[in-house]
């Protein structure tokens, strides 16, 4: 016996199940998906969990755990609940620092010793319906999760039936059924309590509180395996959202966001490109074989607008009612993109070149401006065009269209390679735009292209002066050897002050 139930042969956990959590994550699964947790991750109530050295994002997830009674194989959803003998409380701890190492399998980030506290008591399910259960979680005495099983997208019986199609669920196996909204990060010294009960059943049975105290580990991960790695997105998701993370930073419980790195777009290169025309830069790219770097068909919402920043991407796919129902609501990809764009980034939207529907409106454009975005580029339309024009943020688009989301598009994914206006755009590419249009600069070419374009811009200005003074363009544009010598002498004289 372990923690009030037999040690299970299998511990199977569900990724997403509560609508409150699905809305937070911005993706709605069509069917349940699962991962395994090892029996060595089990821990008793009143125990501790160690946050490993070198990590910062240990997150709790209070859950209802099903304990299988009669073995189940090829059972129906209607009969699945009959194979659940007991209900208990569980805490599905995980390290966001190691999520990137697992690609969804969760072996390392959720399989650590003590990462699955369970108990302290198991409640027999006889006479209690599958929709009658409640899970609550407290951190340091404050209630942070409170949800009920009647809201689940995938009811308990469906989970049992689905899993039984693939494997025999044996007596004592445990299924962790997902966590509701409110999951967040805990730090050493915090005390997490999870309780599952059936408040409306006779006697209001309860598991009692499953208590876990967080401690700090001292043994670092070796360099012979994946090491902890985090970024700002992991921090925000681990804490729940940006507001929760900011509050934790203010309370001294969290590390501030790193913010975007300057990357190749340094202050020096920005200064070089100040006043340089997009057409001049495109010529430098053409010399290097880059001729398909134009985001065609887009125009600025303010005359004289310029854009220079690092690409953050958003992709729409063609509208389909079932896909829009699943992916169009909640914190969808479109909202995630505008809510996570960083200062200096340009949000590039792939709308498949369709001008007959809006892809951004006043609220989202304002959100991007407040977050310090350098601009928005969409090969689709802009809703609330007049209102967006009142904002300072540059927006390049195919023009105005009054339709709302869902007419032609489904918001699909963020931070992927997109095709915008006929150009391939990857996250981190350099986006530059002016009245002539918008181009994409591969980051590894930025320094040399910027230097060449700045020099060419200076030369073009000198040529314009000569033409204005009456010089013919033949031999001057482009400069032949004679004119080049005159230009070099003029530059040398300016540099020496002669």
Each residue's pLDDT tens digit, 72-126: 999 999 999 999 999 999 999 999 999 888 766 889 999 999 999 999 999 999 9
Same domain? For 310 and 382 the reply is yes
Q: What is the pLDDT of residue 234?
A: 84
Of residues 374 and 6, which shows the higher confidence score? 374
Taking the C-alpha atoms of residue 237 and residue 13, their distance in angstroms, rounded to an integer, is 19
Q: Is residue 262 part of a domain?
A: no
Q: Is residue 274 part of a domain?
A: no
Same domain? For 359 and 312 the reply is yes
Does pLDDT of 463 surpass 60? yes
Q: How many domains does the chain have?
A: 3
Do 437 and 296 form a contact (C-beta atoms < 8 A)?
Answer: yes
Q: What is the pLDDT of residue 5?
A: 59
Q: Which of 194, 219, 250 is the last residue of a domain?
A: 250
Q: Is residue 275 part of a domain?
A: no
Same domain? For 310 and 418 the reply is yes
Q: Partners of 142 in the beta sheet?
A: 139
- 251 backbone dihedrals φ, ψ, rounded to 5°: -85, 0
Taking the C-alpha atoms of residue 311 and residue 345, their distance in angstroms, rounded to an integer, is 6
Same domain? For 163 and 28 the reply is yes
Q: At what angle do helices 242-250 and 232-239 cross, to 10 degrees?
A: 90
Q: Is residue 453 part of a domain?
A: no
For residue range 232-289, list pLDDT tens digits in order. 888 888 898 888 888 888 888 988 887 666 578 888 899 999 989 999 999 999 999 9
Q: Which of 250, 279, 314 is the last residue of a domain?
A: 250
Q: Is residue 109 part of a domain?
A: yes
Does pLDDT of 495 surpass 90? no
Q: What is the pLDDT of residue 3?
A: 43
Domain that holds residue 486: 458-496
Same domain? For 301 and 407 the reply is yes
Same domain? For 469 and 410 the reply is no
Average pLDDT, the chain: 91
Q: Which of 401, 230, 406, 396 is nearest to 334 (CA)?
A: 406
Using 50, 70 and 90 to split pLDDT, how confident is the model at 22?
Answer: confident
Joined together, the tokens standing for residue 422 give 């006929």
Same domain? For 409 and 472 the reply is no
Same domain? For 335 and 310 the reply is yes
Q: Is residue 446 part of a domain?
A: no
Q: What is the pLDDT of residue 6?
A: 66
Do 434 and 278 form a contact (C-beta atoms < 8 A)?
Answer: yes
Taking the C-alpha atoms of residue 132 and residue 87, their distance in angstroms, rounded to an integer, is 11
Q: Is residue 70 part of a domain?
A: yes
Q: State the average pLDDT over residues 307-312.
A: 96
Same domain? For 332 and 421 the reply is yes
Q: Partners of 135 in the beta sheet?
A: 147, 196
Judged by phi (left if over 0) then psi (alpha if -120 to 50, else beta), residue 339 lies in alpha
Instruction: Write the DSSP string, 324-335.
Output: HHHHSSSS-HHH
Taking the C-alpha atoms of residue 29 and residue 419, their distance in angstroms, rounded to an integer, is 26
Residue 16, domain CATH = 3.90.850.10
Q: State the average pLDDT over residues 183-201.
A: 95
User: How many CB atoms neighbour CB 182 within 10 A?
Assistant: 22
Q: What is the pLDDT of residue 497?
A: 62
Q: Which of 175, 164, 169, 156 is nearest to 12 (CA)?
A: 175
Q: Which of 250, 282, 317 is the last residue of a domain?
A: 250
Using 50, 70 and 90 to split pLDDT, how confident is the model at 317?
Answer: very high
Residue 316, domain CATH = 3.50.30.40
Same domain? For 417 and 295 the reply is yes
For residue range 434-454, list pLDDT tens digits in order. 999 999 999 999 999 999 999
Same domain? For 23 and 70 the reply is yes
Does pLDDT of 475 surpass 90? no
Does pLDDT of 392 surpass 60? yes
Same domain? For 63 and 108 the reply is yes
Q: Which of 90, 118, 96 is nearest to 109 (CA)?
A: 96
Q: Name 321's Cβ contacts closer than 8 Å, sequence gap at least 6.
A: none
Helix (H) or strand (E) holding 36: strand 34-37
Q: Is residue 450 part of a domain?
A: no
Q: State the average pLDDT over residues 5-20.
A: 89
Of residues 205 and 485, which shows the higher confidence score? 205
Q: State the average pLDDT over residues 38-60.
A: 91
């Amino acid at each position: 016996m372990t923690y009030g139930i037999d040690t299970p042969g299998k511990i199977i956990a569900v990724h997403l199940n509560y609508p409150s959590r699905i809305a937070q994550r911005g993706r709605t699964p069509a069917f349940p998906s699962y991962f395994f947790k090892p029996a060595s991750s089990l821990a008793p109530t009143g125990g501790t969990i160690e946050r490993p050295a070198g990590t910062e994002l240990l997150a709790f997830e209070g859950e209802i755990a099903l304990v299988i009674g009669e073995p189940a194989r090829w059972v129906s959803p209607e009969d699945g609940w009959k194979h659940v003998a007991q209900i208990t409380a569980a805490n599905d701890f995980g390290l966001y620092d190691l999520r990137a190492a697992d690609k969804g399998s969760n072996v390392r980030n959720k399989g650590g010793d003590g990462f699955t506290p369970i108990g302290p008591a198991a409640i027999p399910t006889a006479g209690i319906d599958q929709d009658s259960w409640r899970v609550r979680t407290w951190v340091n005495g404050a209630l942070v999760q409170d949800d009920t099983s009647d809201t689940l997208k995938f009811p308990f019986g469906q989970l049992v039936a689905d899993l039984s199609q693939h494997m025999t669920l044996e007596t004592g196996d445990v299924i962790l059924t997902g966590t509701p909204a409110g999951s967040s990060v805990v730090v050493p010294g915090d005390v997490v309590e999870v309780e599952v009960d059936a408040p409306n059943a006779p006697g209001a049975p309860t598991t009692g509180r499953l208590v876990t105290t967080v401690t700090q580990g001292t043994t670092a991960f070796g360099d012979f395996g994946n090491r902890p790695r985090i970024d700002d997105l992991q921090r925000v998701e681990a804490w729940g959202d940006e507001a929760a993370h900011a509050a934790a930073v203010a309370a001294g419980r969290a590390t501030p966001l790193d913010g975007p790195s300057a990357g190749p777009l340094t202050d020096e290169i920005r200064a070089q490109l100040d006043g340089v025309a997009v057409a001049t830069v495109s010529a430098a790219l053409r010399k290097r074989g880059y001729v398909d770097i134009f985001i065609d068909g887009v125009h600025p919402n303010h005359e004289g607008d310029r854009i220079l920043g690092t690409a953050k991407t958003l992709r729409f796919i063609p509208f389909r009612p079932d896909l829009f129902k699943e992916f169009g609501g909640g914190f969808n990809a479109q909202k995630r993109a505008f809510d996570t764009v960083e200062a200096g980034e340009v949000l590039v939207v792939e709308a498949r070149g369709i001008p007959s529907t809006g892809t951004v409106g006043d609220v989202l454009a304002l959100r991007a401006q407040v977050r310090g975005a350098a601009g928005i580029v969409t090969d689709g339309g802009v809703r609330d065009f007049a209102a967006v024009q009142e904002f300072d943020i540059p927006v390049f688009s195919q023009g105005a269209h009054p339709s709302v989301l869902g007419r032609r598009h489904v918001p699909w994914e963020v931070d992927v390679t997109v095709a915008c206006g006929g150009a391939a755009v990857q996250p981190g590419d350099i986006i530059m735009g002016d009245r002539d249009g918008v181009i994409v600069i591969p980051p590894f070419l930025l320094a040399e292209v910027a230097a060449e374009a700045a020099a060419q811009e200076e030369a073009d200005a000198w040529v314009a002066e000569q033409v204005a003074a009456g010089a013919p363009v033949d031999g001057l544009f482009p400069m032949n050897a004679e004119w080049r010598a005159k230009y070099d002498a003029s530059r040398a004289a300016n540099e020496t002050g002669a």
